[in-house]
Amino acid sequence: MTITWLGHSCFLLESGGFRVLVDPFQGVPGLPDTAARANAVYCSHGHFDHNHTQNVTLAEGGEDPFAVTEVPSSHDGQGGALRGPNTIRRFAAEGLSVVHLGDLGCQLTAEQVRALRPCDALLVPVGGFYTIDARGAKAVAEALSPRVIVPMHYRTEAFGLREIDTVEPFLALFSKELVRHYDANRLELTADTPAQVAVLSV
């Protein structure tokens, strides 16, 4: 399975030629609005930086290899009272599973953890302010026990929402040996992919 980061919280998941797009965005400083071709599109919630489907071209045909599990959650720590609901999705194909947390704003319940495991790769927001912060993201990762952790929803000097934090506080919670920086925005996930925190580039 191929995981491609398009920036912010947007990813393309590909298996057998079938392409799933998750959380296309608009209005993120330093990044062009998402424009992509995919067979299916999923949005974790209705905010502008996660539901910009206008520039997405839907490709017809192809057998969908992904089994999708949807788990309701909250965009904040008050049951959604501040920022509304958020949908976590687990995409399973090729005997592998990828969990996209969307704009998760709270810790997972035991029931949610059971619904999302096993988890081979976790796409987790780490920037705080609108979502869980670095330590909150680490706690969620510990609950789900993925082999591969891909941080998302953070800012750099080149792009990102100014209110949220950089990825560095999250990376500092892991051993340097576990953190891998990629010069590309794509990661091939297989049964043999080693444990790592994968920092992709856009």
Q: How confident is the model at residue 80 (pLDDT cuts 50, 70, 90)?
A: confident
Closest CA to 48 of 74, 25, 68, 31: 25
Closest CA to 189 of 123, 96, 99: 96
Q: What is the DSSP string of 8-26?
A: TTEEEEEETTEEEEE----
For residue 69, what pLDDT is reported? 98
Distance from C-alpha of 50 to C-alpha of 41, rounded to nearest angstrom: 11
Closest C-alpha among 105, 96, 111 to residue 76: 105
Instruction: Strands of the chain (E only): list them.
Output: 2-7, 10-15, 18-22, 36-38, 40-42, 56-58, 67-74, 85-93, 96-100, 121-125, 148-152, 179-181, 186-188, 196-199
Distance CA 62, CA 50 (A): 25
What is the average pLDDT value for the chain, to the nearest integer?
96
CA–centroid distance for 136 within its chain: 15
d(CA 92, CA 182): 24
Task: Quote the pTM value.
Answer: 0.97
Structure confidence at residue 82 as a pLDDT band (50, 70, 90): confident
Q: How far apart are CA 168 and CA 176, in angstroms?
A: 12
**Percentage of the chain surpassing pLDDT 70?**
100
Q: State pLDDT tens for residues 116-140.
A: 999 999 999 999 999 999 999 999 9
Measuring CA to CA, which residue among 149, 165, 123, 146 is closest to residue 23?
Answer: 123
What lies within 8 Å, CB to CB, of 122 at 6+ separation is: 98, 99, 101, 140, 141, 144, 146, 148, 149, 150
pLDDT at 168 over 90: yes
